[in-house]
Amino acid sequence: MISIFIKRLLLAIPVLLAVASLTFFLVKLAPGGPFDADKAVSPQVLKNLNEAYNLNASEWEQYVAYMSGILQGDFGPSFRFPGRSVSEMIATGLPVTFELAFYAILIALLIGVSSGVLAALKRNTYLDFIPMAIAMIGICVPTFLMGPLLVLIFGINLEILPVSGWGQLPGDKILPSITLGFAYAAYIARLSRGGMLEVLNQDFIRTARAKGLTEKNVVIKHAMQGGLIPVVSFLGPAIAGLLAGSFVVETIFQIPGLGRFYVEAAFNRDYTMILGTTIFFSAMIVFFNLLSDLAAMWLNPRSRDTS
């Protein structure tokens, strides 16, 4: 398992370098530049600005300078926010995005696994139909609708929760976490129901029951271990998706996370910020995929043995 871990980590290095190189040249291909503004700047000012940010150098020189910078951990200065480095901005937004993703995944697991397992155990009853119908709604309703809807009910009509912010007012983390978590809860519910149904029909479960184990032990100790493998495999890309895709929730709830920086950087042609966040999110995706693969391997005795 350790050798697989190291192998995959080493494999991540060329992947990230390729991402960085591709992104570097792709952002330059996009029309418009970081200093284009409604109020056009004079050619003289533009020249000075390009000089200040080394944009007058050839593409190749810029590429070499940038790559040698990131190898030393320097993502360069933000073009949009003078005086701020990209690393600093990532460091500012990351804890918030992580925290939001953590609460969301916690909610998703709590709701998703419990309702999925329950639905599998009570197959073809109301306890199966109702949670699965809700899960289907969760999958279908996008966060940009769910968020404002929850705000309208709990923030404006009932006035029990703040409508925006992160850590400023008591309870302001609840609605964004639920909004982001709910969509994932729906997926997890369906995955765990499917996984559990498959496992519950297998011989070792029948054997366990025949040996007189309580239903609780059968489900928790034996069925869930195998039944939740699809959920674990889903968690890796899900966490990466939560981190990179929290932009909508961050915007609806005015949360100072990394997702907003990421998307706004693209709109602003903030080259260094686009590159920095893309490389960072790529690293996150690689890392969480690796973690979930390892966890799934550990849960599945067959693949654990072959590894």
Partner 1 sequence: MKHLIALFTVAFLIGCSSSTSPVDDGLENQIFHFGNGSEPQGIDPHIVTGVPEHHILISLCEGLTIPNAFGDGNLPGAAESWQISEDGKEYIFNLRKNGKWSNGDELTAEDFVWSWKRILTASLGSQYPDMLYYLVGASEYHTGLIDDFNRVGIKAIDKYTLKVTLKAPTPFFIGMLSHYSTWPVHKETVLKHGSIDDRNGEWTRPGNFVCNGAFNLKSWELNNRIVVEKNPNYWDSSSVRLNQIHYYPVSNVMTEDRMFRAGQLHVTSTLPSQKCPIYIEENNPDLRIDPYMGTYFYRLNTNNPVLKDVRVRKALAYAIDRKLLVEKVTKCGQIPAYSFTPPGSNGYQPDTVIPFDPDLAKELLNDAGYSDDNLFPKLEILFNTNEDHRKVALAIQQMWQQNLGITVELVNQDWKVYLSREMVGDFQVSRAGWIGDYEDPNTFLDLMRPNRGNNKTGWENADYDSLVAKANSTNNQEERYRLLNEAEKILIDNMPIIPLYTYVRNYQLSSDVKGYNPHILDHHHPKFIYLERE
Spatial distance between the Cα atoms of 65 and 188, rounded to a whole number of angstroms = 44
CA atoms in the 13 A half-sphere facing the CB of 203: 0
Using CB under 8 A as the binding rule, whether residue 184 contacts partner 1 is answered as: no
Q: Considering only residues 68-107, where is the footprint of partner 1 by CB under 8 A?
A: 77, 80-84, 89, 92-93, 106-107
The answer to whether the Cα torsion of 126, 137, 247, 250 is positive or negative is negative
The nearest distance, CB 240 to partner 1, in angstroms, is 21
The nearest distance, CB 303 to partner 1, in angstroms, is 26
Who's near 169: CB < 8 A, 6+ residues apart? 162
**Residue of 221, 213, 247, 237 whose CA lies nearest to 288:** 237
The answer to whether the CB of 241 falls within 8 A of the CB of 6 is no
The nearest distance, CB 27 to partner 1, in angstroms, is 11
Q: Using the minimum distance from each CB to partner 1, give the nearer residue, 9 or 41.
A: 41
Using CB under 8 A as the binding rule, whether residue 174 contacts partner 1 is answered as: yes
The answer to whether the Cα torsion of 220, 225, 229, 233 is positive or negative is positive
To the nearest 10 degrees (0 to 180), the angle between helices 271-299 and 229-244 is 170
Cite the beta strand spans of 180-222 per DSSP E: none
The nearest distance, CB 32 to partner 1, in angstroms, is 3
Using CB under 8 A as the binding rule, whether residue 225 contacts partner 1 is answered as: no
Q: Considering only residues 31-50, where is the footprint of partner 1 by CB under 8 A?
A: 31-33, 36-45, 48-49
Spatial distance between the Cα atoms of 277 and 124, rounded to a whole number of angstroms = 46
Q: Which of 14, 73, 170, 212 binds partner 1 (CB under 8 A)?
A: 170
The window from 15-23, 119-127, 128-136, 267-275 that contacts partner 1 (CB under 8 A) reads 267-275
Q: What are the residues binding partner 1 (CB under 8 A)? A: 30-33, 36-45, 48-49, 51-52, 77, 80-84, 89, 92-93, 106-107, 110, 148, 151-152, 155-156, 159-166, 168-174, 251-254, 256-257, 260-261, 264, 267-269
